[in-house]
A and B are shown apart, each in its own frame.
Chain A
Amino acid sequence: MSLKYGVLGLLKGEPLHGYEVKNRFEAMLGGTWEVNIGQIYTTLQRLERDGLVKPVGQRGDRRKLQYELSDAGQKALDQWLAQPDSGPQQLHEDIYVKLLLATRIANGDLQPMLARQKRTYLQRLRDLNRLEERARHDGRIDLARLVRGALLHTEADLKWMDELSSERFGAEEAE
């Protein structure tokens, strides 16, 4: 849902039209979140329907139509900012499902699978390190902070693989 609030946040400073919202949103996220212009228009239409933004000037060519934040939009934005992230933790761990299935299908030796995954995480760490370096070099401290978070997550993934390796994950089912 944060695209909605991202748009609200960008409109707080000044009225913007759809393309400006798209460009500023992507620039803010340093290329880590790409949105298509259709998503932006849909989001703006919904926000207008819900009374959170309002068009500035005449409705005509939608590419030129600017939007600004309404009072209700301001309130919704403030509320969202004040709330901690909650809800269940989102994991996209294909590797876990692979291990579960491989435990049933293969005969317990999951070490090669874990080792391959570990290599991927090591490579990711290296890529992230370089990205962080570049972000700092470019003065994008905000992006560097995001990369830092990703580094720590990947480090945890690696530790998880090590733990599974040392537990001989899968061996218990094979015995």
Chain B
Amino acid sequence: MNDLVRLTDVNKVYQGGITGALNGVSISVEKGEFAAIMGPSGSGKSTMLNLIAGLDRPTSGTITVGGTDLAKLSEGGLARFRRDTIGFVFQFFYLLPNLTALENVLIPAQLKGSDAKARARDLLYKLGIKEVADKYPARLSGGQQQRVAIARALINNPTLLLADEPTGALDTHSGDQVMELLGGLHRDGQTILLVTHDAKLATRNAARVLSVVDGRVVDDARLESPERAASEVIRVRSEETSR
């Protein structure tokens, strides 16, 4: 069994409203996959991510991550699971304003001391922002803040990286850079689940697109990645076709 994540008939009911609810979701994600979850707002896509991250519990159904049934974990066990197994990147970064970039990256580190610090610096270097290590978030651009947040998500070598609209608060250029980083992490073997409403960005890296509508997965598209000649992908209209 190669599934890293498996949801079986997962339901999530919210009191007093249906928005974000899930309705019998069953999916699995293999190790090393980069899958995008797409859908309109309120469709339940973020709920899926939160349940997989152990930030919330389903009303019914089972969720296993790396073979662990999340329902069997105590609150403390769930907190350890989140710290050790999951990296989470949010739309609005959620960096602590009174800590430097480096200190923010170190927040989830289990190992304190110089090892973690070296790894944090290494991550900042890899993500192209080593020069911001000692700066406070307010002094950083949105793109830099999101890269700090990605470093923070990676500090414990998570088995699974979850990203909820990571480019949603960024301009096009910074968004492109963040997606490129995620693509690079995936090429290095990182399993990534990305929630987005941007199909253009999603299909750039994700070879799988799950469409969520009204709390149900309505499509699970696996995309091919062949090298296609330009003429197979685009035709500028010529006389023949416009006649």
Q: Which chain A residues border B98 with CB–CB below 8 Å?
A: none
Is A125 touching B199 in the complex (CB atoms < 8 A)? yes
Main secondary structure of the interface of B (DSSP, over half): mixed
Residue of A nearest to B231 (CB): A31
What distance in Å separates the Cβ of B168 from its nearest Cβ neighbour in chain A? 16
The CA-CA distance from A165 to B241 in the complex, in Å, is 29
The A1-52 residues at the B interface (CB cut-off 8 A) are: 1, 3, 29-35, 39
Is B228 touching A127 in the complex (CB atoms < 8 A)? yes
The CA-CA distance from A90 to B241 in the complex, in Å, is 11
The CA-CA distance from A125 to B230 in the complex, in Å, is 13
Q: How many chain-B residues does the 8 Å CB contact rule pick out?
A: 30
B236 contacts partner chain A, Cβ-Cβ < 8 Å:
yes
The CA-CA distance from A148 to B212 in the complex, in Å, is 26
A150 contacts partner chain B, Cβ-Cβ < 8 Å:
yes
B118 contacts partner chain A, Cβ-Cβ < 8 Å:
no
B219 contacts partner chain A, Cβ-Cβ < 8 Å:
yes
Q: Which of B203, B219, B238 contacts A129 (CB 8 A)?
A: B203
Given contacts A33-B236, A39-B239, are A158 and B223 in contact (CB under 8 A)? no
Is A90 touching B242 in the complex (CB atoms < 8 A)? yes
B234 contacts partner chain A, Cβ-Cβ < 8 Å:
yes
What distance in Å separates the Cβ of B12 from its nearest Cβ neighbour in chain A? 21
What distance in Å separates the Cβ of B45 from its nearest Cβ neighbour in chain A? 13
A146 contacts partner chain B, Cβ-Cβ < 8 Å:
yes
The CA-CA distance from A124 to B228 in the complex, in Å, is 11
Main secondary structure of the interface of A (DSSP, over half): helix
Q: How many chain-A residues does the 8 Å CB contact rule pick out?
A: 39
Q: Which chain A residues border B242 with CB–CB below 8 Å?
A: 90
What distance in Å separates the Cβ of B217 from its nearest Cβ neighbour in chain A? 12
Is B200 touching A127 in the complex (CB atoms < 8 A)? no
What distance in Å separates the Cβ of A15 from its nearest Cβ neighbour in chain B? 24
The B213-236 residues at the A interface (CB cut-off 8 A) are: 213, 218-219, 221, 223-225, 227-236
Q: Which chain A residues border B40 with CB–CB below 8 Å?
A: 162, 166
The CA-CA distance from A103 to B166 in the complex, in Å, is 39
Given contacts A130-B228, A131-B228, A158-B199, are A147 and B221 in contact (CB under 8 A)? no
Is B239 touching A130 in the complex (CB atoms < 8 A)? no
Q: Which chain B residues border A3 with CB–CB below 8 Å?
A: 238-239
What distance in Å separates the Cβ of A171 from its nearest Cβ neighbour in chain B? 15
B204 contacts partner chain A, Cβ-Cβ < 8 Å:
yes
Q: Which chain A residues border B221 with CB–CB below 8 Å?
A: 118-119, 122-123
Is A122 touching B236 in the complex (CB atoms < 8 A)? no
The CA-CA distance from A32 to B223 in the complex, in Å, is 22
Provide 10 A-B residue pairs closer than 8 Å at the C-beta atoms, listed in order of the A residue.
A31-B229, A32-B230, A32-B236, A118-B219, A122-B209, A123-B224, A128-B234, A155-B200, A162-B40, A165-B213
Query: Top 8 closest A-B pairs, CB basis?
Result: A31-B230, A125-B203, A126-B203, A129-B204, A33-B236, A32-B234, A31-B231, A126-B223
What is A's interface to B at a CB cutoff of 8 Å?
A: 1, 3, 29-35, 39, 90, 92, 111, 115, 118-119, 121-131, 135, 143, 146-147, 150-152, 155, 158, 162, 165-166
Given A1-B239, A32-B236, output 18 extra A-B contacts at Cβ < 8 Å.
A3-B238, A29-B236, A31-B229, A32-B231, A33-B235, A115-B211, A118-B219, A121-B199, A122-B223, A125-B203, A128-B233, A129-B204, A130-B227, A135-B230, A146-B234, A146-B236, A152-B200, A158-B199
